[in-house]
Amino acid sequence: MGKALAVMALAVGTALSAGAAYGPQARPARAGTAAARAGESGELVVQWNRTLLGIVRTPGAQPATVHPTRSFAIMHTAIDDAVGAAGRSGSARAAAARAGHDSLVALYPARRADLDRQLAGDLAGVPDGPAKDAGERAGRHAAGAVLADRAHDGSEATPPPFVPGDRPGDYRPTPPAFAAPVFTHWAGVRPFVLGRADRFRPRPYPALTGPAYARALNEVQALGKDTSTVRTADQTAQARFWAAPIQNYWNEIAEDAARRHGTGLAETARLFAVLDRTFADAVIAFYDGKYHARIWRPVTAIRLADGDGNPATHGDPGWNPLAATPPDPSYPGAHSVVSEAGALVLTSFYGPADDFTVGSEAVPGITRSFTRYQDAADEAGLSRIYAGVHTRIDHVAGDVLGARVARYVLARSR
């Protein structure tokens, strides 16, 4: 645990030195967004983010083979570009609203009626005239440009079938449903900022016959079992709390931060554009890592441990995890990648120490509170060990990958 946190502390320090000074005030103001827009609230951007969260949480609304982080990155890039393009003569509010609307209508045409109503409400607060017209033009152009750029980015590809291996360590579908692995094509999607999916590919997985693997497997075998007697009540609560799509939590954490800090429209647009481009590229990167390494999940590794060649591991054919195992390879851990990336981006805007509370999509009505973004990231990543779906090896590799992706995006987003 100490070694893992030391790695993360180093990653945070490196990220900040790479160009992420604390606080929005440390960023150069874009033209036309300084004093004239100081009073404009970022709530409009938050509301479009909430709308997209509602869409992706609606069964059947999100295409099964398109990862939702792509939609967030498209919408928020369009909003950010629109606000910047509105200039001194255009309404930033009209630009942001039109960009959010046009992006989502293109991505989710069946939701058009609701999106039209939201746009009308946003524009009702903008006085008619040349500024409103210029803002809307900026929003239309920004959304159209981003959508055109992403039209053939690889997300439309048919996922290739996965052929499981039969050697120790090889990933194979997991019980109880033994579902086919998902997003087998996602490493082929063109990143938003990263350039290529394998830029920060995790280091090779440690040997199954070595002590590091044995320690990691034995840890999840004890802590992650459905009937574990060594997992604490709070560890069980953590496993259940963080069980939903991890990027949703971090988008809500960002919403809360923007509201608490009174972040203005332009900087809120920038925050979400950086955050969600980071998430989109982090997902592309971790799927590259997963399908390159093709490492089995704990439930498979523990049930077949007697054949892994390691005398320090012990098979349990009846072992089951606390949570359902996601249908993709284990290494690196997705929660750890996205959470570390989210913590670094939010730290770059607001500093590391920030009191906040986050709710759970998986356990409605339950909240957890933190004083540092890094603490939430650590908890979210480690929760997957308690859930029985990842090892600490997956977690540490995920932390490192998330930090590297965030650092890269932040350095190119000033």
Name the residue range of residue 276's domain: 2-24+41-151+211-411
In a domain, 195, yes or no: no
Reported as a single tens digit per residue, the pLDDT across 124-142 is: 999 999 999 999 999 999 9
C-beta of residue 279 within 8 angstroms of C-beta of residue 345:
no
- With a CB cutoff of 8 Å and minimum separation 6, the contacts of 41 are 262, 264, 265
Q: What pLDDT does residue 406 have?
A: 98
Is the per-residue pLDDT at 322 higher than 50?
Answer: yes
Q: What pLDDT does residue 24 have?
A: 31
Task: Tell me how many degrees the CA angle 105-364-79 measures, rounded to the nearest 5.
Answer: 25
Rank 19-23, 164-168, 410-414 by mean pLDDT and report only the highest: 164-168
In a domain, 241, yes or no: yes
Query: In the structure encoding, which two tokens stand for residue 280, read together?
Result: 């989109």
Question: What is the rounded CA–CA span in Å between residue 44 and residue 10?
Answer: 35
Q: Which of 38-47, 84-93, 299-308, 363-372 has the lowest mean pLDDT?
A: 38-47
Closest CA to 378 of 365, 392, 388: 392
Reported as a single tens digit per residue, the pLDDT across 269-283 is: 999 999 999 999 999
Percent of the chain with pLDDT over 70: 91
pLDDT band (50, 70, 90) for residue 414: confident
Q: What pLDDT does residue 32 have?
A: 34
DSSP class of residue 188? G
Q: Which of 7-16, 96-105, 359-368, 387-396 has the lowest mean pLDDT?
A: 7-16
Reported as a single tens digit per residue, the pLDDT across 206-230 is: 999 999 999 999 999 999 999 999 9
DSSP class of residue 204? P
Closest CA to 331 of 400, 405, 394, 402: 394
Q: Once rounded to an integer, what is the mean pLDDT over residues 178-196? A: 98
In a domain, 400, yes or no: yes
pLDDT band (50, 70, 90) for residue 88: confident
Query: In the structure encoding, which two tokens stand for residue 277, read together?
Result: 């481009």
Question: What is the rounded CA–CA span in Å between residue 192 and residue 409?
Answer: 9
Q: Which of 22-36, 67-81, 354-368 has the lowest mean pLDDT?
A: 22-36
What is the phi/psi pair of residue 170, to 5°?
Answer: -70, 135
Its pTM surpasses 0.85: yes
Is the per-residue pLDDT at 28 higher than 90?
Answer: no
End-to-end CA, the chain: 33
Q: Once rounded to an integer, what is the mean pLDDT over residues 323-341? A: 98
C-beta of residue 173 within 8 angstroms of C-beta of residue 213:
no
The helix (H) or strand (E) run that includes residue 195 is none
Q: Once rounded to an integer, what is the mean pLDDT over residues 168-188? A: 98
In a domain, 309, yes or no: yes
In a domain, 165, yes or no: no
In a domain, 35, yes or no: no
Mean pLDDT of the chain: 92
Query: In the structure encoding, which two tokens stand for residue 269, read together?
Result: 């647009």
Domain count, the chain: 1
Question: What is the rounded CA–CA span in Å between residue 246 and residue 248?
Answer: 5
Higher-pLDDT residue of 6 and 144 is 144
Q: What pLDDT does residue 89 have?
A: 85
The CATH number for 324's domain is 1.10.606.20
Question: What is the rounded CA–CA span in Å between residue 265 and residue 93?
Answer: 8
- Give whole-number Cα distances, 298 to 166, 254, 302, 332, in Å: 15, 32, 6, 13
The helix (H) or strand (E) run that includes residue 369 is strand 367-372
Question: What is the rounded CA–CA span in Å between residue 269 and residue 295?
Answer: 38
pLDDT band (50, 70, 90) for residue 181: very high
Q: What pLDDT does residue 55 have?
A: 98
DSSP class of residue 347? H
Question: What is the rounded CA–CA span in Å between residue 76 and residue 100?
Answer: 7
Q: What pLDDT does residue 22 have?
A: 27
Question: What is the rounded CA–CA span in Å between residue 195 and residue 205?
Answer: 24
Question: What is the rounded CA–CA span in Å between residue 134 and residue 242?
Answer: 43
In a domain, 187, yes or no: no
In a domain, 77, yes or no: yes
pLDDT band (50, 70, 90) for residue 26: very low
